[in-house]
Amino acid sequence: MTDAVRASRLAPEIAARLKRDGRGLIAAIAQQYDTGEVLMLGWMDDEALHRTLTTGRCTYWSRSRQEYWVKGDTSGHQQWVKSVALDCDGDAVLVKVDQVGAACHTGDRTCFDADVLGAAPGDRPPAAPREQAPREQPARWKSEPAITGSDFQRAAKGED
């Protein structure tokens, strides 16, 4: 894939919010909708995101094969979309799914099961507050209407 954005049917108002890498991709994190379990990280271009938003199935861009793939079409381990959220920077989406079978190509439930790295656990100092007061939002956020998940999906389908 080149630096140019591949032709897509993604709604222009969604496409304008994306910050793609040099290959025109954004990270797509798949998470089990009911348990919060992080399943995998895949990559989407505009068309893969459009397909994910409009079909109810996760579609990714394969960087190695240079083609689209619908999760589970060959393995049977499907991902049924429950919601899609764009992160604050526009360079990643969180796709909450109902995962059927293993999410990882190795056969593990998640791509993060097999190789847990040793990390020193961090503990919050006892004097630190558990919750911080909400930060003031930038003025531009107050003037722009919020886009909800359902707005996001309606825009992807071309509905108003």
pLDDT value, residue 2: 43
Can you tell me the distance from the alpha carbon of 63 to that of 40, in angstroms, rounded to the nearest whole number?
15
The set of residues, in sequence order, having a beta carbon less than 8 Å from that of 119 and lying 6+ positions away, is: none
How many CB atoms sit inside 10 A of residue 8's CB? Answer: 17
Question: Is residue 34 a part of any domain in this protein?
Answer: yes
Give the residue numbers spanning the domain of 96. Answer: 12-102+135-156
pLDDT value, residue 130: 65
3-state secondary structure 63-104: CCCCEEEECCCCCCCCEEEEEEEECCCCCEEEEEEEECCCCC
**Total domains present in the chain:** 1
pLDDT value, residue 54: 96
The domain that contains 29 carries what CATH number? 3.10.20.810
Question: Is residue 96 a part of any domain in this protein?
Answer: yes
Question: Is residue 116 a part of any domain in this protein?
Answer: no
Token couple for 160: 């108003």
Q: CB–CB of 1/10 below 8 Å?
A: no
Q: pLDDT tens digits, the chain, 160 residues: what are they?
A: 444 567 789 999 999 999 999 999 999 999 999 999 999 999 999 999 999 999 999 999 999 999 999 999 999 999 999 999 999 999 999 999 999 999 999 999 999 988 888 889 999 888 766 666 666 666 655 555 555 556 656 666 666 5
Q: CB–CB of 92/29 below 8 Å?
A: yes
Question: Is residue 124 a part of any domain in this protein?
Answer: no
